Structure formats: structure tokens, C-alpha cells
Amino acid sequence: MLILGLTGSIAMGKSHAARLFRAMGVPVCDADALVHDLFRPGGAAVAPVGAAFPEAIGPEGGVDRPKLARLVLGDRDALRRLEAIVHPLVRAAQRRFLEVQCRAGRPIVLLDIPLLFETGAERRVDRVVVVSAHPLLQAQRALRRPGMTLAKLAAIRAEQAPETVKLRRADFVIGSGADRGRTAEAVARIIRSLARERGRAWPERWLSSELASKGRSR
């Protein structure tokens, strides 16, 4: 089973690309969707996040994501505390997804990881796909989102790897612009090019990564 890692900075069109992979038969595990599940009432991240950031717990008992974002954005120490809570839970959910897909005999699966390079997740995938768009188009898309401002966008960009770094380290780049047909063609070409490639990340790199994490936690 070959693992594709899909990433891209905010408002680059990554979610649209992930939907295309899914529509073309590639199982997709969305890291952001996993976080939503972890943060909803009763989710595995609610108690530890609440202990670290009590103000972030909403009236219904889940994590208030906008409030949590305001607490950690621009505060690197707070962000690192949050990442230490959330990232291991996300990796555990991703591992469960991979186990299921491997048993099902899937030849290719996709992990949609917004902070793939920033978290070192490229070590746990076979190939990396980066979705990229012109910075002006990126800003236009981002500023349409509720609550987004230029200052907030700048702070988010500052926490993400530079676009030049992502493009240099990518195995495949999908240009995201106005022509969605071209995006679909690019996704189809990637899938075809990997049809006979054998994956090496699962399970060896996942096992070695977990052993390394346990060693650091001792």
C-alpha cells in the first residue's frame, strides 16, 4: 500500500484536490476532520486541551476552535503545548485508518495533512503532493472566510513552512487556479503515475516513528 501525503498552505485549494482524489477512488484521511472529531463534546482531546487551556472549552463541553485559535495564534509556547496534545491523537487515528485500508487491499491511500512538513509527517508517507496557488489568489480565498483578516492571515502564514520550501520538497505539485478541470487532470495523472509503484512507508516507517516518539517521552 502506497501512502500519499497531501498538503498545502491555507486557502491553496487542498480540500478541493482531496475531494478529487476521493472521487477517483483513493481513500482519504483528513487530518482537519480528525481534529474536529477530537474536539467535539466527548472527544479524546477535550479533557487534555481543557486542562491546558480552560478558556477554550465551550458551553456544550467541546473545544471552541475559534477561541482556541485566538489563544495560541502568535504564541509559540502555547502552540507547542497544543501540538503536544493533538498530534499524537491525530497520528493514532491515522494509523487506525491505514490499518483498515491495508486490510482492504487498497493500493493507494491519501493522508490530507495541512502541516505535513511542519510536523515531520513526510517521513511517514511515500510521496508528497503539494497544492499551490498564486499568493494573491490565496489571499483572496482566505479573506472570504469568516473572521479572517490580513493580520490573522499573516500570522497563519508565519506558522507554516514557506511556499518555496514546500515546492522544493514536493514529489508532485498541483497548481490550483480558476480552471478546476486542470486540477482534476493533474490528480488523475498522479494516480496513473503511481499505479505500479510499491509503497514502503507502511508499516515500517510508522513503527519506527512510534518507537522514536516513545523514546523521547521517557
Convert 143-202 into a string of H (helix), E (strand) and C (coil). HCCCCCCHHHHHHHHHHCCCHHHHHHHCCEEEECCCCHHHHHHHHHHHHHHCCCCCCCCC
Strand partners for 132: 175
Domain 2-217: which CATH class? Answer: alpha beta
- Name the pTM for this structure: 0.90
pLDDT score recorded for residue 215: 54
Count of CB atoms within 10 A of residue 156's CB?
17
For the stretch 8-58, pLDDT in tens is: 999 999 999 999 999 999 999 999 999 999 999 999 999 999 999 999 999
Q: What is the pLDDT of residues 5-17, one digit of tens each?
A: 999 999 999 999 9
Closest C-alpha to 198, from 128, 130, 120, 127: 127
